[in-house]
Amino acid sequence: MATFDVNGDLDNIQEAVLLPNDDYAVIITQDPVREPNKVMREEGADADKAGYNIILRTRVYDPEVPEAHGRMFTIYLPLPNDTDEGKYTPQGQAAKDSKLDRIKNAAGAFSGDGSGTVVNFEAGMMAVAKVIQKVDRNDSSKKVNEINAFAGLTEYEGPRPESVMDAFS
């Protein structure tokens, strides 16, 4: 058996402090990627709702508020696929158009260009996101912070760091 000094009291661990529901400046911290969604990873490419997401890894940028600055959030932008044909959201919008609308909103907020057939995202781009408190999917007795993807993103017009590396050093 190995014994380790953990340099802390395991009986006195403070819970995470959630950010209040509010708008926060976020910065893309890594080059975005296109990855299979959870359904595709777990059930395969032929499963209903299998598809790809554009993944934006972001952090809150607010050096004046240390308890918020640096918090990490991931934004998932689902890409339309063939299985969206003939499907509609509960609000009556075509599934494909709903996904395109989210991508257009994000592209417009981060880069100012949400038009055409391609979008560009890169590390260092900034936008304003609505952060909410939500019941944790893995533990309904806890709450977590999450970006409200349906509230949309807006353009950020505040001060910017010289680089992503400078933002959190």
Q: What is the pLDDT of residue 112?
A: 77
Q: Point out the residues of the chain with pLDDT beneath 50.
A: none
Q: Is the dihedral of CA 2, 8, 9, 15 positive or negative?
A: negative
Q: Residue 152 and residue 154: Cα distance in Å, rounded?
A: 7
Q: What is the pLDDT of residue 114?
A: 76
Of 23, 54, 38, 16, the residue nearest 147 (C-alpha): 23
Q: Residue 39 and residue 4: Cα distance in Å, rounded?
A: 40
What residue has token string 């257009």?
A: 104
pTM given for the model: 0.88
Q: What is the pLDDT of residue 123?
A: 95
Residues 6-32: tens digit of each pLDDT? 999 999 998 889 999 999 999 999 999
